[in-house]
A = this chain, B = another copy of it.
Amino acid sequence: MKKNLNEIRKNLPVTGDTVSAIMRQPVVLPPDFQVNEAIERIRQVGLPDANMNHCYVVGEDYTLLGMVSLRALLVTRGGVHLKEVMAHPFVTLQPEDDQELAAQLMQEYDLLELPVVDGDNCLTGVVTADDAMAVLQEEATEDMERMAAMMPSEKPYLESSVVRMFGSRIPWLLLLMLSAAFTGGIIAHFEDALAAQVALTAFIPMLMDTGGNCGSQSSVTVIRGLSLGEVAFSDWFRVLWKETRVSTLCALVLAVVNFLRLLLMTGVGSAVALTVSLTLAVTVVLSDLVGGLLPILAKRLGFDPAVMASPLITTVVDALSLIVYFRLASCLLGI
């Protein structure tokens, strides 16, 4: 099923690199040229790029009329006019479109080159698949870096300088370290309760890690969906509903396994086991929902959704799970 072009354009991730930076100049010919004249012209001027396999038919002021593949030139009789043999380009780019759109459209429509036209439908260039492939790789790398709380780097790992790598990592580490102070504050707030039941402390890492893992599972899934144009802001309710069901299933299994493990393999009482397992279940559902919805919200607000991934969500989820933990503990354990 082909998607609507406007829909793809709308769902596109916001990044700075536009199509105009990677477009190349094609061979352009008038519509009244005959096929043998076109071939003669190509012999004279050459084709600008080994990966360009069309020439472009333009009218006055470079208005794009059509494109003719080398294959069509090859198999058509010499006397035929280009306007009779040209294909009408049903997918075009604009110079200010995101480079990722070029790659998405090529994949969507199985094309290896796309013409770029301005607002008046004048041909300004052509994007070829080799450049689009490079864009796909770069964008995927950048998304992964953002998901792991780094500023995107330009260079391959072994060629990046230590100072540059430090610079791309330290801002997020600092921010997340300071925001974790908030989590610490929650624990400090419940210090008396913890002093009464030191055993509760031992489960904090498990609760926080599981919450973090659930949050990164749903956030990475949704972020990738946004990047590939499979998920849009308007799908937020479908994401909410899907994550609710998936996380409920996960929560049930994890809570039951955890409850049984605590009862059978450790010395904690059933009240503590119940407190920990209930907290786990609530944490799993909350983390999944936060992880699934924050990237969509970020996209809507014009931020890069990948920035919302695991580390930032972990901080939110840590705080939530601790609050749930201590509230449940005070209800169930009376501390």
A residues with a Cβ closer than 8 A to B are 39, 42-43, 46-47, 50-51, 53, 69-71, 73-75, 103, 106-107, 110-112, 128-130, 132-134, 136-137, 140-141, 143-145, 147-150, 156-158, 162-163, 165-166, 169-170, 172-174, 176-178, 180-181, 183-185, 187-188, 191, 194-195, 198-199, 201-206, 208-210, 212-214, 216-217, 219-225, 228, 230-231, 235, 238-239, 242, 245-246, 249-250, 253-254, 257-258, 261, 280, 284, 310-311, 314-315, 318, 322
Asked whether, in the complex, the Cβ of B213 is within 8 Å of the Cβ of A311, the reply is yes
- Which residues of B sit under 8 angstroms from A145, Cβ to Cβ? 220-221, 224
Closest chain B residue, CB of each to CB of A284: B173
Q: A235–B156 Cα gap in the complex (Å)?
A: 13
Pick the contact of A314: B110, B209, B249 (CB < 8 A).
Answer: B209
Q: A201–B311 Cα gap in the complex (Å)?
A: 21
Asked whether, in the complex, the Cβ of A201 is within 8 Å of the Cβ of B187, the reply is yes
Q: A314–B250 Cα gap in the complex (Å)?
A: 20
Asked whether, in the complex, the Cβ of A246 is within 8 Å of the Cβ of B129, the reply is no
Asked whether, in the complex, the Cβ of B144 is within 8 Å of the Cβ of A147, the reply is yes
Closest chain B residue, CB of each to CB of A208: B205
Q: How far is the CB of A187 from chain B (nearest CB, A)?
A: 4
Asked whether, in the complex, the Cβ of A205 is within 8 Å of the Cβ of B187, the reply is yes
- Which residues of B sit under 8 angstroms from A183, Cβ to Cβ? 205-206, 209
Asked whether, in the complex, the Cβ of B75 is within 8 Å of the Cβ of A42, the reply is yes
Closest chain B residue, CB of each to CB of A169: B217
With A140-B140, A169-B250: A130-B156 Cβ-Cβ less than 8 Å: no
Asked whether, in the complex, the Cβ of A134 is within 8 Å of the Cβ of B148, the reply is no
Asked whether, in the complex, the Cβ of B205 is within 8 Å of the Cβ of A180, the reply is yes
Q: A172–B214 Cα gap in the complex (Å)?
A: 10
Q: How far is the CB of A212 from chain B (nearest CB, A)?
A: 7
Q: A150–B223 Cα gap in the complex (Å)?
A: 14
Q: How far is the CB of A102 from chain B (nearest CB, A)?
A: 11
- Which residues of B sit under 8 angstroms from A222, Cβ to Cβ? 157
Q: How far is the CB of A198 from chain B (nearest CB, A)?
A: 5
Q: A201–B203 Cα gap in the complex (Å)?
A: 12
Q: A145–B228 Cα gap in the complex (Å)?
A: 14
Q: A148–B173 Cα gap in the complex (Å)?
A: 19
Q: A43–B206 Cα gap in the complex (Å)?
A: 68
Asked whether, in the complex, the Cβ of B137 is within 8 Å of the Cβ of A213, the reply is no
- Which residues of B sit under 8 angstroms from A144, Cβ to Cβ? 140, 143-144, 147, 220, 223-224
Asked whether, in the complex, the Cβ of A212 is within 8 Å of the Cβ of B212, the reply is yes
Asked whether, in the complex, the Cβ of B257 is within 8 Å of the Cβ of A314, the reply is no
* Residue of A46, A140, A143, A228 with most chain B CB atoms under a 10 A cut-off: A140
Asked whether, in the complex, the Cβ of A180 is within 8 Å of the Cβ of B209, the reply is yes
With A136-B136, A195-B195: A148-B75 Cβ-Cβ less than 8 Å: no
Pick the contact of A148: B130, B149, B203, B310 (CB < 8 A).
Answer: B310
Q: A133–B224 Cα gap in the complex (Å)?
A: 16
- Which residues of B sit under 8 angstroms from A147, Cβ to Cβ? 144, 147-148, 220
Pick the contact of A249: B162, B198, B224 (CB < 8 A).
Answer: B162
